[in-house]
Structures are given as C-alpha cells and as structure tokens.
Amino acid sequence: MWPRLVANKILRKSVGSNNFVADFPPDTDEKLLEASGLADERPSFDSKSIVFNQHKTTHLNYKVFVSTWNVGGIVPDDGLDMEDLLEAHKTPCDIYVLGFQEIVPLRASNVLGSDNNKVSAKWNSLIRENLNKRVAEPNQDKEKPESEGINGISQDFRCIISKQMVGILITVWVRGDLWPYIRHPSISCVGCGVMGCLGNKGSVSVRFQLHETSFCFVCSHLASGGRDRDGRHRNSDVNEILARSNFPRGTSLDLPKKILDHDRVIFLGDLNYRISLPEDKTRLLVERKEWSVLLENDQLRMEILNGQIFKGWQEGIVKFAPTYKYIPNSDLYYGCITYKKDEKKRAPAWCDRIIWYGNGLKQHQYTRGEANISDHRPVKAIFTTEVTVLQRGKKIRNLFFSDRFEDRIDGYNEIDSKDYSWIST
C-alpha cells in the first residue's frame, strides 16, 4: 500500500482544485448567486424583461483576522481556550484566516500516509465553538436571550475553506451574511519536503473572491535549521511555492491563476527564518528585550530589504518576543535549563510570521498569543481591507415574476458598509 501512496504524493500536480472541506459544497455559492440575480450576467433585451445597463461601483471596508501557529504535533484538548488566539469577542472581525503547522507529528507514517482529518476536524470544531459563542451584554436581564453579536457584527460564522496537507492546515471563516458574496473558492497545495515534493514542508494556498475583490492566503512551513544552507533552502521553498501554486481560471478564464495575481495576498506560517547572531548573544539580547538590534539581524527582514525574495512584500513592526523555541507548557526558552546529552541547541527566533503583498490592506495589530502547549507561540494580525462592490442595474420584470422574488433580489443590493472608526491605528 505504501508504494502506491508515495507514488501518488510524488506525482500529484500542484494545481488548484475544489477538494476542500467547507460548510457548503464549492458550487453552492454560484447556485445561490444565480438564483438571487447576483451572478455575473450579460445585459440582454428579451420579451420577458428589460435591463438598464447602469452599474454602480462602491467600496466597503472589512476587517480580517489572520493567525499562524506551529502546534508541535499536539492534539488540542476539548477545553483549549481559543479566545487567547482569536480574540473574537474582544476585537470582532468579519473574516478569520487561521493557519497551523504540525497539527500531526511529522513522522514517516503521517508524511507518506493519508492525512489524519480527525485532527483538523478537532481544530475546526474548537474554532467554530469560539467564533459562534454567545456572549451576554453587560447588565442584561437574565430572562432575556443572550446577545447575538458584538458591535453589531453577527456571530453566525461559517467555514468557507478548510484544507490540510500532512501537518499544514488552513481554515477560513466568514460572517454568515457575507457568505452569499463569496465566490470561486479554491485551493493549491505545494510540497517542498522530502525529495522536494512531499508535504512535510511546503504550502497550502486558498483563494476566493469577495464581491469583486480576490483574496489569496498562503499557509506555509518552510525548511528548518540555522545553517547558511538552510537559509538558502528556505528561499528556494518560497520560490517554489510562488512558481508552482496554481488556481483554476474558471469558466470565464479571467480569474487569477498565480498567487501574486490576486488583489490581496497574505503569506503566513512557520517560515523558520532565524537571527544571524551567535546563540549566546541572541539569548542575551532577548533577555534584555532589545528587539530592534535583533531585528537588524533577522533573516526574513534582511531578505525583504535586499529584495532577494519577497520583493515588494511588507511586514508590520515586530514588537513582541521571539516565538521559538520554548519548552512546551512553560514560559522558558529551550536551552535555559541543563541540556540532555547530544541534544541540539536552538536559539530564540521569530520563526512565525505574517507578511502581505500589494495595496488595499492596512494592518492595525501584529502581536503574539501566549498559548504554551507547543514549542512555538502563535502570531496574529488584524487588517482592514477595501473591497470593490459592483451593484448592477435592476430588471423591470414582467408579470411572470412575483413581488416576493423581486424583494429578495433587491435585498441583496442593500449593502451597508460597516463602521470601523473604533479600530485603533
């Protein structure tokens, strides 16, 4: 059985597909849009209706939460507090994108065998429970029902894409009332691990279109190690991911195919870039919290500034402690206690990062969480993004259409922009 599994993984092409988990089948959104009159359609003049060819373009602002966490192969307990990671009730958002690495241990049976979907289902269950948790308003009468939202934002979140490749998992959730405007969800998996193609390292990219704006999120786990050749290997992984990731064009052949073709692109994950300083000096600077000195020697920051890879990409200001490598279930960095014999040393580093490409994204928060079950700490960011909305001309329908159907269509055109003036900048 294993030879066949290995061959399938090696020969698997890195093309986009709809092979992912979601609360709705991939084509459900198109069917709903067609039924509601929101799908793209060419103006037509027939005996049943007249179309006024007047399209109005407006813009809406949405709030996007992004996080990445290497969980070190630990299966979460049912009682794991996800609020530290999501902050869904402290700072509610419209879209949540969560990337995980090593949701299963990277041993041969997991790398070469079938993906363990039970673990990803467990993470999705915890996320769903947290995002849709009902919270009572202050001074609320106990006899009244609990609040259905915070700051006027619905808490009916739905999963539009969830995809696992070995230990990499990316899962995307949106407010229920945004789901009708999500189109063309797709995924693209690229393996860069063993033999340059297996999924112990690599990326899972997801894309979708919200109204008229395309989004792409790339969850990755790059090559590890602190030697010079390991850094070159990471750069090679990035180039492979950007070159080999492909998404379907769709029936209209006008959808973005490559990662950088999308309007909004965010790259997240355990990128594994280290700090180019001796270990003892790195530890001393971490102890003194001299982040600026450490960042001057941060490999990812230097790569972006030099333009060797990630040319044109941006990252927010890092004002938090290195996220790797911790002793699990503690606040101590690895190496702060007596080493075991022949145990490898690991200097602290900002392995876990979130960067973005292009215009249209504004970052308001870039920080880390303190969940300590892994040897990594999670990193999270909050963005606002502008989305283009095309409101099409209305049809004058004939007597074959009921008033009830017309009211349903018109309801989709009444799109209210959310007020995010309360966000700290």
Domain count, the chain: 1
Give yes or no for residue 260 having a pLDDT over 80.
yes
Q: Tell me what pLDDT residue 110 has.
A: 72
> What pLDDT shows up at residue 196?
72
Backbone angles phi, psi at 205, to 5 degrees: -105, 140
- Residues 213-238: pLDDT tens digits? 999 999 999 999 989 899 999 999 99
| Beta-ladder partners of 395 | 51
User: Could you tell me which of 1, 22, 26, 70 has the C-alpha nearest to residue 353?
Assistant: 70
Residue 51 lies inside a defined structural domain of this protein: no
Please state which of the ranges 123-137, 149-163, 348-362, 390-404 shows the lowest mean pLDDT: 390-404
Say which residue, 11 or 256, is predicted with more confidence: 256
Local confidence band at 2 (pLDDT 50, 70, 90 cut-offs): very low
DSSP annotation of 214 reads: E
Domain span at residue 217 reads: 2-37+62-133+149-413
pTM beyond 0.85, yes or no: no
Q: Which residue has the tokens 């619905």?
A: 154
Task: Give a yes or no: residue 83 inside a domain.
Answer: yes
Query: By the 8 A CB rule, do 161 and 20 touch?
Result: yes
Q: How many CA atoms lie within 13 Å of 101's alpha carbon, on the beta-carbon side?
A: 29
- For residues 334 and 414, which has the higher predicted lDDT (pLDDT)? 334
The closest alpha carbon to 271, from 103, 75, 69, belongs to 69
Mean pLDDT of the chain: 81
pLDDT of residue 73 exceeding 50: yes
Give the model's pLDDT for residue 393: 58
DSSP H helices in 274-402: 279-287, 291-296, 299-306
**47 domain-assigned:** no
Residue 190 confidence (pLDDT) above 60: yes
265 is a domain residue: yes
Judge whether 144 lies within some domain: no
d(Cα 290, Cα 406) in Å, to the nearest integer? 62
Residue 138 domain-assigned (yes or no):
no
- Whole-angstrom distance, CA of residue 218 vs CA of residue 248: 16
- Continuous segment of H or E residues that includes residue 216: strand 213-221
- Please give the distance of CA 419 from its chain centroid, rounded to a whole number: 23
Angle between helix axes 28-36 and 403-413 (nearest 10 degrees) is 110
Task: Examine residue 74 and state whether it is found in any structural domain, yes or no.
Answer: yes
Q: Residue 411 and residue 86: Cα distance in Å, rounded?
A: 31
pLDDT over 70 percentage in the chain: 72
What is the predicted pLDDT for the residue at 303? 94
pLDDT at 300 over 50: yes
Structure tokens of 308? 């060797």
pLDDT of 251 higher than 50: yes
CATH of the domain at 213: 3.60.10.10
Amino acid at the residue 12: R
φ, ψ for residue 353 (rounded to 5)?
Answer: -140, 160
User: Is residue 169 domain-resident?
Assistant: yes
pLDDT score at 115: 74
Q: Write down the pLDDT at residue 50.
A: 42
